[in-house]
Amino acid sequence: MNAPLKLFQRIGKRFEQEKNQFNWIVIGPVFPPEILVKRMTCRILGVAALFVSLDTSMAAAQDADLDLTQLSIEELMNIEIFSATKNTQRLFDTAAAAFVITREDIRRSGATSIPDALRMVPGVHVAQISASEWAISIRGLNNRFAGNLLVLIDGRSVYTPLFSGVYWAAQDVLLEDVESIEVIRGSSGALWGANAVNGVINVRTRQARDTQGGLVTALEGNQESGAAFRYGGGLGENGHYRVYGKGFRRDAFWDAEDDSAHDAWDQAQGGFRADWTLSGRDELTLQGDFYQGQLDQTLQISSLTPPSAPLIEDTVDSWGGNLLFRWKRPLEANSEWILQTYYDATRRREDILNQRIDTFDLEFQHRFPWGDRQNITWGFGYRHIWDNLDGSFTVSFDPPDRRTDVYSAFVQDEIHLLDNMQLTLGSKFEHNGYTGFEIQPTARLLWQIDPQQNLWGAVSRAVRTPSRSDTDIRINLAGIPGVPPTLLSILGDEDMDSETLVSFELGYRSEPRQNMTLDVTAFYNRYDKVRNSESSASFELTPLPPHLLIAQTLGNLTKLNTYGLEAALTWQPWSHWHLNAGYAWLNIDARDDPARNLAFSENRLENSDPTHQFLLRSQWEFARNLQLDLALYYVDDLPALDIPSYTRLDLRLGWRPRKDLEFSLVGQNLLDDRHVEFTTFDLVGSEIPRSIYGKVIWRW
């Protein structure tokens, strides 16, 4: 039977099935009034419905997630990664501790946020503080404001220059549109610049041509409910677009007193992406997002009059948006250039601080071969940041407004020394408004022992440049009644220098058996000029009443060494069953001057990160269109924070009765009612509860 005849028979069959049907889907309670999505009958649409049926059937097939459990181990080894070299290459041939979370991994994990998905990466410590706050780090130094990790979404930096960390609640992408999450563990400053000290997380979304047709999701559970939609179509002969919207509400967790914590979270977000291919080679991308949310939190504020450090219940208003443009042009002889620019605006209003931060970024990159054995990649960038920080007695900045310019350039040379050996040399050069000129070089060597084994090593230097919180902040922690009263405070230092890291890494990847892969990395890091604070006393006349000031002043006061081991094993015992195991061991040795009165002692620095982490994931399609997925996580205790070890079990049961329809039932943290994962000095944390939810996904 020829293809056209098959096509028309398929159209006729679809028409007969749907001509008398009305399909209603309630998006959910998060959008008042309820949004109803109605699919009109083919009888009403007439002849046009024939084309709609054909288009939506093809779109559902195109948009259906690729089932990676059908791929062999060899095919999984060929997964490509961009973030390690800023060029696309095989993950197996990467001279870095790299890990890729695929979109199938995300779907099968049952994760509802990027932080939850990151639990799958060995060596990444994900600790949830409350319903909307996380502490996430790679290879140590974790806290709510961890500033040694660079996080990007489609190449757009999402760290806040306020403290060089990430407000994870503001990074709420539609997970069904994520192509992959690339995680580079270890120093990446030679390519990505300051703050890529301990690693890079790059969330890459799918191209618009891969998300054609419609998608609706709805989720309902004991802790969270929400819904999302997305629709994609064509733009002329050479372009495609998609638009999306989503919203959710997460109920309050529990506090240590077995009461409901004040940390509920609800948020709505929408956006678009459009891609064009012009003149047969130019690729243009335009995309943007806007979000608005409310986050409940319990804060400790300060006062010089009793009560000196009361707890208050506060609701944070958070909103923002971004717009990104990218132009990619392939050239002759395996070369190309990329021009990218974006504007990002974030707003955050809470009781102790109102923030307004705007960022403009421009970056150019060019890649070309040089001779038969070298590939050169070079580029330059410019970033302008302007902020307004309207503080309070508890938290303030001096000056409240600041503009910062960052100029950068980088060069990287991939040299094929032999047929099975490659040397990569490169460096990033940056000039910032805090410390001036910074250099971040790297040298990486990859040796392909045979087609099933690679050995690599790297030596790198990276820096963490100061942020606004390092140089300009004042935090009044508490007042102590007396004559005169005493005020405890943390003060920034305008003379703060950059923290520096020299890292040494050694990695090994292999395919020991046809159905198994192994990835092992050992590392040793030497940190210098690490931020700490030292006590001093003085007398202040303002603010009234006159008081004694006991201040902890920030400075580059600490050195420390970290070393550890990370391992990942993938085994495919049967074609429909994948097992993944991961282990991370971390040791931190801090070196302080015992004569100095430092706020963060050696114990606090050495024992705020888990020494051991273990994970086991199973993806099993045990019957036709039925999937059972398991994830088991063990996280060691954090003695400095008085947090015991915990084991977390997540389960997912998925059913796909049709290619365009999927149901799933997910349970998270099933082994205990609730547990604590992290605490901070400024925010009252919560206990993370057991949660169960059901989810439906419909594509057309």
Average pLDDT on 431-452 reads 96
> Which position has the higher pLDDT, 257 or 109?
109
CB 19 within 8 A of CB 61: no
* CA–CA distances in Å: residue 559 to residues 125, 459, 556, 635: 22, 19, 9, 26
Going by pLDDT thresholds of 50, 70 and 90, the confidence category of residue 88 is confident
3-class SS of residue 419: coil
According to the model, what pLDDT value does residue 56 have? 39
Going by pLDDT thresholds of 50, 70 and 90, the confidence category of residue 66 is very low
In percent, how much of the chain has pLDDT > 90?
Answer: 72
According to the model, what pLDDT value does residue 74 have? 63
pTM: predicted TM-score of the whole model, two decimal places: 0.89
Nearest CA-CA partner of 661 in 321, 236, 215, 257? 215
According to the model, what pLDDT value does residue 681 have? 75
CB 255 within 8 A of CB 133: no
The rounded distance, in Å, linking the Cα atoms of 143 and 638 is 12
CB 352 within 8 A of CB 301: yes
pLDDT in tens, 241-295: 999 999 999 999 988 777 888 999 999 999 999 999 988 789 999 999 999 999 9
How do 374-390 and 577-591 pair as beta strands? unpaired
> Which position has the higher pLDDT, 186 or 37?
186
Average pLDDT on 204-216 reads 97
DSSP string of 439-455?
A: EEEEEEEEEEEETTEEE
| Least confident range of 72-81, 346-355, 358-367, 440-449 | 72-81
> Which position has the higher pLDDT, 334 or 245?
245
According to the model, what pLDDT value does residue 77 have? 67
* Structure token pair of residue 590: 């801090």
Q: Within 10 Å of residue 434's Cβ, how many Cβ atoms?
A: 19
The rounded distance, in Å, linking the Cα atoms of 127 and 150 is 17
pLDDT in tens, 486-541: 999 999 999 999 999 999 999 999 999 989 999 999 999 999 999 988 899 999 99
How do 239-250 and 691-699 pair as beta strands? unpaired
pLDDT in tens, 164-185: 889 999 999 999 999 999 999 9
Nearest CA-CA partner of 588 in 567, 564, 566? 564
According to the model, what pLDDT value does residue 419 have? 87
Q: Which domains does the chain show, CATH number per domain?
A: 3-63 (no CATH), 68-699 (2.40.170.20)
> Which position has the higher pLDDT, 308 or 569?
569
According to the model, what pLDDT value does residue 75 have? 65
According to the model, what pLDDT value does residue 2 have? 46
The rounded distance, in Å, linking the Cα atoms of 549 and 540 is 6
According to the model, what pLDDT value does residue 146 have? 85
pLDDT in tens, 587-630: 999 887 666 777 666 677 888 899 999 999 999 999 989 999 99
Residue 542 has pLDDT above 90, yes or no: no
According to the model, what pLDDT value does residue 35 have? 34
According to the model, what pLDDT value does residue 220 have? 98
> Which position has the higher pLDDT, 83 or 174?
174
According to the model, what pLDDT value does residue 309 have? 78
Nearest CA-CA partner of 439 in 404, 459, 403, 409? 409
pLDDT in tens, 9-45: 443 444 344 333 333 322 233 333 333 233 333 332 3
Residue 402 has pLDDT above 50, yes or no: yes
Going by pLDDT thresholds of 50, 70 and 90, the confidence category of residue 69 is very low
According to the model, what pLDDT value does residue 684 have? 78
Going by pLDDT thresholds of 50, 70 and 90, the confidence category of residue 48 is very low
Q: Within 10 Å of residue 188's Cβ, how many Cβ atoms?
A: 29
